[in-house]
Amino acid sequence: MSIWSAPTVTTPVVATVDLPGSKSITNRAFILAALADGPSTVRGALRSRDTNLMLNGLSALGIGVRVDTADETTITVDPRPVRAADVYCGLAGTVMRFLPPVAAFADGVVGFDGDEQARTRPLATILDALRGLGVEVSGDSLPFTVTGRGSARGGEVTVDASASSQFVSGLLLSAARFDDGVTVRHVGPPVPSTPHIDMTLDMLGTAGVVVDRPESDVWRVAPGPIGAVDWEIEPDLSNAAAFLAAGAVTRGAITVPRWPATTTQPGAQIVDILSEMGCTVERADGALTVTGPDKLTGLAIDLRDIGELTPTVAALCALADGESVLSGIAHLRGHETDRLAALSTEINRLGGDCTETADGLRITPTRMHGAVWESYADHRMATAGALIGLAVQGVTVDDIETTAKTLPDFPGMWQNMIGHV
């Protein structure tokens, strides 16, 4: 880990930022490709810690993985019988929640472990669901084991997915391969980040898997094949958020090429948030440009469906003109870190005024000063610190390397963006 001095600018940042592929789409594509009825090619895949952990896990399970020597973002996945293995999850929620259902089809014991911090992340929901589907599971959190017998019964399970939509997505991605299919019924407080479930459903449809919705919070998948697909991965719009926000806080203009006209990525909603805060948004020639206003305005917003944007939005609000209230994000207390406590602590450490509420944050802009911004091994906390550092001199970010979880070279990309000033 290292202390990184966040660069500060006094003139508008104007730049074009070309972003790598979406982590959420990449890792879903890898799972579907591993379970498909033939080889699939994934093009434009994100290569980051989280996606490499997914590839390593699939390879350990016996799935064929071939990386194009001329382009590491082009990967061919060849389905093969799942074998006993040890899978290291790091701190990747998609790995620890999407791969256990795949391990149900193994011939033998699959052990899962991860970073020390990952051992506190909630996993009992999906592990109990697997037990209900006839799978032998030992443990309720990392480390745990799944004992496969080559196939699994399936059936109907009731889950409380109020802590993470990944519990639903993880079950649905593998559901068609269970002998009886899988029906998932959510009972409990609302599921957060439901656009990520929509993304899963859309990708399942592309692979020829039909998901019935007989009623709200119920998803039913019949047994059947998962089709091989050549996947084209969109740019990661959640990673785009911090860069677009850089234009917003410096009265600059940031352009992101290849912005999809339609998408299931929740991160796309950063555009609406920036517009509400006073930014100008333009689309032309397949690119999106955000231009910052003279002053950002505060806002009151429910972020339940787009919780991953919270660190970026909180940083924007700390630099805005007027109070902001962020709600619907109590579930962020169970993310890479307790993001609500972390954001409140770090904004206040810099002289800001951020208070935790029952389900969010209340932020009142004040004059801030430099200090160490702790990242808590959380990639989005680190990028939020970098964003505030653009406007507040003397901010240093601890463990900037954690951004490699979803973005291979964030410091280099950030500096290149600022180099246009």
Summarised one tens digit per residue, pLDDT across range 312-352 is 999 999 999 999 999 999 999 977 689 999 999 999 999 99
Kindly state the average pLDDT of the residues 290-313.
97
Q: How far apart are CA 313 and CA 301, in angstroms?
A: 10
- Could you tell me if 73 and 128 lie in one domain? yes
Distances in whole angstroms, Cα of residue 304 to Cα of each of 23, 195, 238, 326: 20, 10, 15, 9
Active site residues: 308
Q: H or E segment at 326?
A: strand 324-327
DSSP string, 91-147: T-HHHHHHHHHHHTTSEEEEEEE--GGGGGS--HHHHHHHHHTT-EEE-SSSSEEEE
Asked if residue 44 belongs to a known ligand binding site, the reply is no
* 162 has binding-site annotation: no
Residue 405 assigned ligand-binding role:
yes
Averaged over 176-204, what is the pLDDT? 97
Q: Is 41 left (phi over 0), alpha (psi -120 to 50) or beta?
A: beta
Which of 155, 185, 220 terminates a domain? The answer is: 220
Q: How many domains does the chain have?
A: 2
Determine contact, residues 370/299, Cβ cutoff 8 Å.
Answer: no
pLDDT digit string (tens) for 353-401?
999 999 999 999 999 999 999 999 999 999 999 999 999 999 999 999 9
Higher pLDDT, 122 or 123: 123
Q: Looking at the DSSP assignment, which residues form a beta bridge with residue 148?
A: 108
Q: Which CATH number covers residue 265?
A: 3.65.10.10
Q: Are residues 253 and 389 in the same domain?
A: yes
Are 186 and 144 members of one domain? Answer: yes
Range(s) of the domain holding residue 7: 3-19+236-418
The pLDDT of residue 240 is above 90: yes
By DSSP bridging, strand 40-43 and strand 231-232 are parallel
Q: How far apart are the first and last CA of the chain?
A: 28
pTM comes to: 0.94
**Was 335 annotated as part of a binding site?**
yes
- pLDDT(166) > 60: yes
